[in-house]
Amino acid sequence: MSGPVSPESAEHYSWGAGCDGWHLVQYRELSVIQERMPQGTAEIRHRHVRARQFFFVLMGELHLEVDGAVHALSAGMGLEVPPGAKHQAFSRSASAVDFLVISQPASHGDRELVPAADTP
Protein backbone atom coordinates (compact mmCIF):
# COMPACT_ATOMS: atom_id res chain seq x y z
CA MET A 1 0.00 0.00 0.00
CA SER A 2 1.28 3.45 -0.86
CA GLY A 3 0.42 6.97 0.27
CA PRO A 4 -2.38 9.29 -0.86
CA VAL A 5 -2.97 9.67 -4.59
CA SER A 6 -4.62 12.41 -6.66
CA PRO A 7 -4.70 13.38 -10.33
CA GLU A 8 -1.72 15.65 -9.62
CA SER A 9 0.40 12.69 -8.45
CA ALA A 10 -1.04 9.86 -10.59
CA GLU A 11 0.15 8.64 -13.98
CA HIS A 12 -1.62 10.71 -16.66
CA TYR A 13 -2.61 9.74 -20.20
CA SER A 14 -4.53 11.44 -23.02
CA TRP A 15 -7.14 9.75 -25.16
CA GLY A 16 -9.77 10.59 -27.78
CA ALA A 17 -10.34 14.25 -28.69
CA GLY A 18 -8.86 16.09 -25.70
CA CYS A 19 -9.87 13.60 -23.00
CA ASP A 20 -7.65 12.87 -19.99
CA GLY A 21 -7.20 9.97 -17.59
CA TRP A 22 -5.28 9.40 -14.37
CA HIS A 23 -4.40 5.92 -13.02
CA LEU A 24 -5.29 6.21 -9.33
CA VAL A 25 -5.00 2.45 -8.70
CA GLN A 26 -3.30 0.19 -11.22
CA TYR A 27 -3.14 -3.56 -10.60
CA ARG A 28 -3.91 -6.53 -12.83
CA GLU A 29 -6.91 -7.43 -10.66
CA LEU A 30 -8.20 -3.88 -10.03
CA SER A 31 -8.04 -0.52 -11.77
CA VAL A 32 -9.37 2.86 -10.63
CA ILE A 33 -9.10 5.64 -13.20
CA GLN A 34 -10.30 9.24 -12.99
CA GLU A 35 -11.25 10.55 -16.42
CA ARG A 36 -12.23 13.95 -17.80
CA MET A 37 -14.18 14.37 -21.03
CA PRO A 38 -14.67 17.85 -22.51
CA GLN A 39 -18.08 18.88 -23.82
CA GLY A 40 -19.03 17.14 -27.07
CA THR A 41 -16.61 14.22 -26.79
CA ALA A 42 -17.26 10.47 -26.86
CA GLU A 43 -15.29 7.30 -26.48
CA ILE A 44 -15.41 4.48 -29.03
CA ARG A 45 -18.16 1.92 -28.42
CA HIS A 46 -16.69 -1.30 -27.09
CA ARG A 47 -17.07 -4.18 -24.66
CA HIS A 48 -14.84 -6.07 -22.25
CA VAL A 49 -14.70 -9.85 -22.15
CA ARG A 50 -13.58 -10.15 -18.50
CA ALA A 51 -13.74 -6.73 -16.85
CA ARG A 52 -16.72 -5.58 -14.83
CA GLN A 53 -16.77 -1.77 -14.63
CA PHE A 54 -18.42 0.85 -12.48
CA PHE A 55 -18.67 4.44 -13.74
CA PHE A 56 -19.17 7.07 -11.01
CA VAL A 57 -19.65 10.76 -11.85
CA LEU A 58 -17.72 13.29 -9.75
CA MET A 59 -18.65 16.48 -11.63
CA GLY A 60 -20.86 17.28 -14.61
CA GLU A 61 -23.10 14.88 -16.51
CA LEU A 62 -22.10 11.67 -18.27
CA HIS A 63 -24.28 9.94 -20.82
CA LEU A 64 -23.49 6.24 -20.82
CA GLU A 65 -24.98 3.97 -23.48
CA VAL A 66 -25.10 0.33 -22.40
CA ASP A 67 -26.48 -2.27 -24.83
CA GLY A 68 -28.62 0.37 -26.58
CA ALA A 69 -30.04 2.10 -23.47
CA VAL A 70 -28.73 5.61 -22.73
CA HIS A 71 -28.37 6.63 -19.07
CA ALA A 72 -27.83 10.26 -17.97
CA LEU A 73 -25.65 10.25 -14.85
CA SER A 74 -25.08 13.42 -12.83
CA ALA A 75 -22.63 14.03 -9.98
CA GLY A 76 -23.01 11.42 -7.25
CA MET A 77 -24.54 8.81 -9.58
CA GLY A 78 -22.96 5.64 -10.91
CA LEU A 79 -23.71 2.70 -13.18
CA GLU A 80 -22.29 -0.82 -13.37
CA VAL A 81 -21.35 -2.28 -16.76
CA PRO A 82 -21.04 -6.09 -16.68
CA PRO A 83 -18.55 -8.06 -18.78
CA GLY A 84 -19.70 -8.43 -22.38
CA ALA A 85 -22.00 -5.38 -22.35
CA LYS A 86 -21.50 -3.03 -25.29
CA HIS A 87 -21.03 0.51 -23.99
CA GLN A 88 -19.96 4.04 -24.87
CA ALA A 89 -19.54 7.21 -22.78
CA PHE A 90 -20.53 10.68 -24.04
CA SER A 91 -20.10 14.20 -22.67
CA ARG A 92 -23.17 16.01 -24.01
CA SER A 93 -23.61 18.70 -21.33
CA ALA A 94 -22.42 22.31 -21.48
CA SER A 95 -19.24 21.56 -19.53
CA ALA A 96 -16.67 18.83 -19.01
CA VAL A 97 -17.48 15.72 -17.00
CA ASP A 98 -15.15 14.11 -14.43
CA PHE A 99 -15.80 10.52 -13.42
CA LEU A 100 -14.23 7.38 -12.01
CA VAL A 101 -13.98 4.10 -13.90
CA ILE A 102 -13.43 1.17 -11.56
CA SER A 103 -12.58 -2.10 -13.33
CA GLN A 104 -12.23 -5.59 -11.90
CA PRO A 105 -10.07 -7.12 -13.27
CA ALA A 106 -8.28 -4.23 -14.98
CA SER A 107 -9.66 -3.60 -18.47
CA HIS A 108 -6.32 -2.92 -20.18
CA GLY A 109 -5.96 -5.34 -23.12
CA ASP A 110 -9.55 -6.56 -22.65
CA ARG A 111 -11.33 -4.18 -25.04
CA GLU A 112 -13.13 -5.22 -28.23
CA LEU A 113 -14.53 -2.52 -30.53
CA VAL A 114 -18.17 -2.98 -31.57
CA PRO A 115 -20.41 -1.15 -34.08
CA ALA A 116 -22.05 2.09 -32.97
CA ALA A 117 -25.49 1.83 -31.39
CA ASP A 118 -28.59 3.13 -33.15
CA THR A 119 -29.75 5.20 -30.15
CA PRO A 120 -26.93 7.15 -28.46
pLDDT of 120 strictly over 50 = no
CB 83 within 8 A of CB 48: yes
Query: Residue 1 has what pLDDT?
Result: 56
In CATH, what is the architecture of 21-113? Sandwich (2.60)
Which residues have a Cβ under 8 Å from the Cβ of 87 and sit 6 or more positions away?
Answer: 45, 46, 47, 53, 64, 65, 66, 67, 81
Average pLDDT, the chain: 95
The domain segmentation of the chain, as residue ranges, is: 21-113
For 55-100, the pLDDT digits (tens) are: 999 999 999 999 999 999 999 999 999 999 999 999 998 899 999 9
Kindly state the percentage of the chain with pLDDT values over 90.
91
pLDDT of 119 strictly over 80 = no
